[in-house]
A and B are shown apart, each in its own frame.
Chain A
Amino acid sequence: MAAGTIVIKKPRRTAADQSYVVELVKGLGVTFKHLFKGLNQMRPGGQRPDVTKMNYDEGVATLEYPEEKRPYARRWRGVHRLTLRPNGDVRCTACLMCSTACPAQCIWIKPAEFPVGHPSRGHERFPEEFVIDELRCIFCGYCVEACPVDAIRMDTGLHMTALDDRGSFVYDKKKLMSQVSQDGDQLTANTRPEPGDASHGGITRLKGH
């Protein structure tokens, strides 16, 4: 055998091991130790520690879910939300990047032009309809990565709950816009100025032509 290898030997068995009874009692001792530790935590008003920190402690490792909840990690990808502009409109510009990047093809967008006279007309479009089928979604986060305007996020901290019918899992634009992040935030972090704003690069570009 080359260096850096460990050869696994069969353990020697004593008469006590072969008789089974001695080790049975010892083993039951180990399991009962755990049982009593758990019972001590479970009794009403017991010393059950903070559920968010108890994971590595000895004793009960399970959560009594609807009553006890563990917060999700900051990066955890939950159901989607559409971020909003400061004026409450949807930030999405219907560029279809998210639906292109989606490996599960669960996003469907119907783009539309802004009406004549709107400052955004000619600069960007907006989604007339924005539908995500949360049952098809595989929660890979590619849509968030693909969004060039920070319009779609998965930081709601919500997992899919059981609903009555399949149609309820198809989230429309209104539902997506009403979702909030784990911090209760709805606004986009995109720093790009709005079309019509003095600092918007598109105006100077138009003037040049």
Chain B
Amino acid sequence: MESIDQELDESELELPAEPMTLNMGPSHPAMHGTIRMVLKLDGETVRACDVQPGYLHRAQEKMGERGTWQQFFPYTDRLNYCSPMLNNVGYALAVEKLLGITVPRRAQILRVIHGELARIADHLTCNGAMAMELGAFTPFLWYLKAREWIWEIIETQTGARMTHAYGRIGGMAAPDTEDFGDMCLTVLPRIHSVVAEGESLLLKNRIFLDRTQGVGVLTKKRAVSAGASGPVLRSTGVDYDVRKDQPYLTYNEVDFDVPVGEDGDNFDRFMCRMEEIRQSARIIEQSVALLKKIDPRSPDNEVNVKNPRVILPPKEEVYNTIEGTINHFKLIMEGIQVPAGEVYQYTEGGNGELGFLVVSRGGGNPWRIRVRAPSFYSLGAVSGMIVGGMIADIVPTFGSINMIGGECDR
């Protein structure tokens, strides 16, 4: 080996010209989740990119077949763990569709509010992390502070900060507490101010603008062909939002707008999420008002359907009557008896169209639960967004996709 300090003639110095292969991940500190990218680099420019998901595969769909229908809820919490309530709602709606039941109005509105709170938390996390990847640490901490307020509200309702397991087939695990609506209305203006303050730092910062605008461009055609949905698709200019186009629950009763971008670059994705936070806040405000309008004596005010084949009997009945005890035991041991059939129910999750395909052959266990995870499809478009760009832009571009390992790999 030649010593380093030997005098080299500049004209004889040869630099290797073949592309360099670089493995990013699966446990790279700057990558979201565990994902591996095999890059072909020409200097700092990415020439080819192979995105390899699957490092967080936990066989959740298979594990769902082991238990009863009700026992899948804790697994849904661990799909997109930035917005667990949206997954709870999506799965509950799928099984209810197969059962042919509709939850009472109060439960529907509660599902909307919890889902939108989770969406705000999801977008705050994603945008905060994306700003941090571009060197802006302060907005990240502020957004996580705001997310903390949301988690605290959800904790008082569900009993857990992240792994709520609050949804149930045919309703919710518990009714909302008395001050739920007030807590939401107290927190929303504060979230608005935190979001605006973070934006005031970022959107006047030339480094942030230069590194997001025109970087990681996703064309409309490519986004549609990859099956992307949610903010990733909307940033390219397609105004597809399941809540607007195929309204479920009480989304057709509330007024909100769908933000769309123009270019599909990192900046548009960032701003789409920012605007969605404001729109979600609008939905929550209107939904809290709808909640207060419900007549407390009407059947609409229940959070569970009146169906002893689906919902556990009241505890007093279980303690003191043999009928209640038998009903309770049968529901726990054998599970909810879902008729044979196959349904696909899709909702707007934090990252886009979150679908559940559930197959039943009758009986208390699912035959198959298939999750259409939105970030898995967004991930398909990533390599096209990265190739041709610089290696330093991979991390913010990838961050703006908001790939959640738990949801993508399941």
A contact residues vs B (CB 8 Å cutoff): 1-2, 4-11, 13, 17-18, 20, 23, 26-27, 30-31, 55-56, 61, 72-77, 95, 97, 100-101, 103-104, 138-142, 145-146, 148-150, 154, 190-192
Bound complex: CA of A17 vs CA of B204, how far in Å? 6
Instruction: Find chain A residues with CB under 8 A from B207 CB.
Output: 20
Bound complex: CA of A99 vs CA of B66, how far in Å? 15
Is A150 within 8 A of B315, CB to CB?
yes
Given A2-B239, A6-B257, A75-B174; A148-B328 close (CB under 8 Å)? yes
A-B complex: 7 closest residue pairs judged by Cβ atoms: A75-B159, A140-B165, A73-B156, A23-B204, A140-B74, A5-B239, A77-B159
Q: B174-208 interface mask toward A, CB cutoff 8 Å, 1 = contact, 0 = none?
A: 10010000000011001000000100110111110
The yes or no answer to B224 lying at the interface (CB within 8 A) is no
- One of A6, A140, A191 near B163 (C-beta < 8 A): A140
Is B165 within 8 A of A141, CB to CB?
yes
Selected interface stretch from B261-269, B352-360, B372-380: B261-269
Residue of B nearest to A72 (CB): B155
Instruction: Find chain B residues with CB under 8 A from A150 CB.
Output: 315, 319
The yes or no answer to B12 lying at the interface (CB within 8 A) is no
Interface of B is mostly: helix
The yes or no answer to B248 lying at the interface (CB within 8 A) is no
Smallest beta-carbon distance A169→chain B, Å: 18
Bound complex: CA of A8 vs CA of B265, how far in Å? 12
Is A5 within 8 A of B160, CB to CB?
no
The yes or no answer to B127 lying at the interface (CB within 8 A) is no
Q: B265-300 interface mask toward A, CB cutoff 8 Å, 1 = contact, 0 = none?
A: 001100110010000000000000000000000000
Bound complex: CA of A72 vs CA of B177, how far in Å? 15
Is A30 within 8 A of B163, CB to CB?
no
Residue of A nearest to B190 (CB): A56
Instruction: Find chain A residues with CB under 8 A from B160 CB.
Output: 76-77, 139-141
Residue of B nearest to A56 (CB): B190
- One of B73, B138, B163, B275 near A8 (C-beta < 8 A): B275
Bound complex: CA of A26 vs CA of B174, how far in Å? 47
Instruction: Find chain A residues with CB under 8 A from B226 CB.
Output: none
Smallest beta-carbon distance A150→chain B, Å: 7
Instruction: Find chain A residues with CB under 8 A from B174 CB.
Output: 75
Given A17-B204, A100-B333, A148-B325; A55-B152 close (CB under 8 Å)? yes
Is A103 within 8 A of B319, CB to CB?
no
User: Among residues 223 to 259 in chain B, which have CB atoms less than 8 Å away from a CB atom of chain A?
Assistant: 235, 239, 244, 256-259
Is B149 within 8 A of A56, CB to CB?
yes
Which of B152, B160, B207, B244 has most A Cβ within 10 Å?
B160
Is A141 within 8 A of B173, CB to CB?
yes
Bound complex: CA of A142 vs CA of B165, how far in Å? 9
Is A30 within 8 A of B200, CB to CB?
yes
Which of B67, B163, B187, B204 has most A Cβ within 10 Å?
B204
Instruction: Find chain B residues with CB under 8 A from A154 CB.
Output: 159
Is B332 within 8 A of A26, CB to CB?
no
Smallest beta-carbon distance B268→chain A, Å: 6
The yes or no answer to B11 lying at the interface (CB within 8 A) is no
Instruction: Find chain A residues with CB under 8 A from B200 CB.
Output: 27, 30
Given A97-B329, A148-B328; A191-B156 close (CB under 8 Å)? no
Bound complex: CA of A104 vs CA of B63, how far in Å? 11
Instruction: Find chain B residues with CB under 8 A from A138 CB.
Output: 74, 163
Residue of A nearest to B244 (CB): A4
Bound complex: CA of A154 vs CA of B287, how far in Å? 31
Instruction: Find chain A residues with CB under 8 A from B155 CB.
Output: 72-73, 75-76
Is A1 within 8 A of B197, CB to CB?
no
- One of B156, B157, B268, B319 near A190 (C-beta < 8 A): B319
